[in-house]
Amino acid sequence: MRYSNFTFSLCLFFSVFCVGQDSLKTVVAEPGDGILSLLRKQGVDPYDVFDEFVKLNNDNLRDSVHLIAGKTYVMPHVKLDTVAIVDSLQQQSTEIKELESVSYDIFGEKHKNVIKKSDRLEGNVYYLVSGHGGPDPGAMGVYAGKTIAEDEYAYDITLRLAKELMAHGAKVYIIIQDPDDGIRDDFILEIDHDEEAYLDKRIPLNQVARLKQRVEIVNDLYKSNKGKYQRLIVTHVDSRSEGQNIDVFFYHHEHSKNGKKLAESIHKTFQAKYKKYQPNRTYSGTFEDRTSLFLVKKTHPAMTFIEIGNIRNAKDQVRIVDPDNRQALAKWIGEGVLLDFEGE
């Protein structure tokens, strides 16, 4: 099934109905549990309570994001949702509430439902470009004896970010798309070469041709959405020497006031998150102009170019390969986007 002719905007597609019940007070982490999987097993939407869970359990988390098997964790005080899709409104009881939701196959079977959180980004347009793809896997590293590729992890983070933005009412164009890789909750993301550019375009092997293709797609869409609030977010994973540990960096066009504001807003969000969850660690990521980058220089929307980390560095690999971390990165970028738009 093809997805590239889709534009993504949140609308009412079907109704999901939830029956509330009280959450557990505590739960013991089992080997292999991450924050997302632990919360899911308790029936909680992990994306709604991730920050609260980390705040409640910070003393029992390794590096402020990883569970320790055998430790007891406090659950956020929320109503648990037992989800059931019903065929008729007549099947509802007075205890059942309706949530707006839409289903998109591009996110994969487990993640295809986007539940509406707000209208805060209603009418806004976002173009999301994940680095490399198709014949070019991008930067390469080795984790647990297996080769890992930049394009797979940049794409996974981009899909997660798309869901975050759509949940707040944004219209999102996913410029690089894979027909069979949705959001994946695995550490090792298998490498393939079947990614395509928006509207079923084959991705060229030649680097300049590949970048020009992305610029043309974004700029054409920008013209078609003239008069709307539009932003571009490009996601890459860096490759440096194995010993070089880097934080998340944000770049913008030197002459773009709005691009600088977007990069700065996401950067501020990351600074605040590190201060909150890793108070003993200095966040060294920066935002700066980098007009020499082709997509920064040639695309028309105000934009930020994000480098997630060094795929060859062991510490950065933890940030990249752990699906909980990829979700946190996407969520924090999404919060920075909200900060940028609302001008707080």
Q: Is pLDDT of 284 > 90?
A: no
Q: What is the pLDDT of residues 29-45, one digit of tens each?
A: 998 888 888 888 888 87
pLDDT range class, residue 344, cuts 50, 70, 90: low
Q: Which residue has the higher pLDDT, 8 or 181?
A: 181
How much is the pLDDT for 3?
47
Tell me whether residue 342 is exposed, middle or buried, using C-beta atoms within 10 angstroms of its C-beta: 0 to 12, 13 to 18, 19 or more: exposed
Extract the tokens encoding 144: 């647990």
- Looking at residue 115, what is its pLDDT? 86
Q: Is the pLDDT of residue 102 over 90?
A: no
By CB neighbour count within 10 A (0-12 exposed, 13-18 middle, 19+ buried), where does 206 fall? Answer: exposed
C-beta of residue 170 within 8 angstroms of C-beta of residue 232: no
> 97-122: string of b/e by CB count within 10 Å (b at 16+)?
eeebbbebebbbeebbbbbbbeeebe
Q: How far is 287 from 338, CA to CA, in rounded Å?
A: 17
Percent of the chain predicted with pLDDT > 70: 83
Tokens of 267: 């950067």
The string of DSSP letters for 311-334 reads TTSHHHHHHHH-HHHHHHHHHHHH
> Is the pLDDT higher at 66 or at 172?
172
Q: Where do we find the tokens 């490759």? A: 239
Pairing of strands 196-197, 176-177: antiparallel
Residue in 344, 322, 325, 12 with CA at minimum distance from that of residue 166: 12
Q: Give residues with Cβ within 8 angstroms of 292, minimum separation 6.
A: none
DSSP 204: P
Q: What is the mean pLDDT of residues 49-55?
A: 79
Residue 301: burial class (beta carbons within 10 Å; 0-12, 13-18, 19+): buried
What percentage of the chain exceeds 90 in pLDDT? 56
Instruction: Give me the amino acid identity at 98.
Output: E
Reply yes or no on whether the pLDDT at 289 is more than 70: yes
pLDDT (0 to 100) of residue 41:
86
Cβ neighbours of 5 (radius 10 Å): 9
pLDDT at 204: 96
pLDDT of 312: 87
Mean pLDDT of 16-39: 70
Give residue 123's region: left, alpha or beta (phi > 0; psi -120 to 50).
Answer: left
Q: What distance in Å separates the CA atoms of residue 183 and residue 158, rounded to the nearest whole number?
A: 9
* pLDDT (mean) for 152-181: 96
Predicted local confidence at residue 291, as pLDDT: 81
Confidence of residue 83 (pLDDT cuts 50, 70, 90): very low
- In the chain, the amino acid numbered 271 is Q
pLDDT at 21: 40
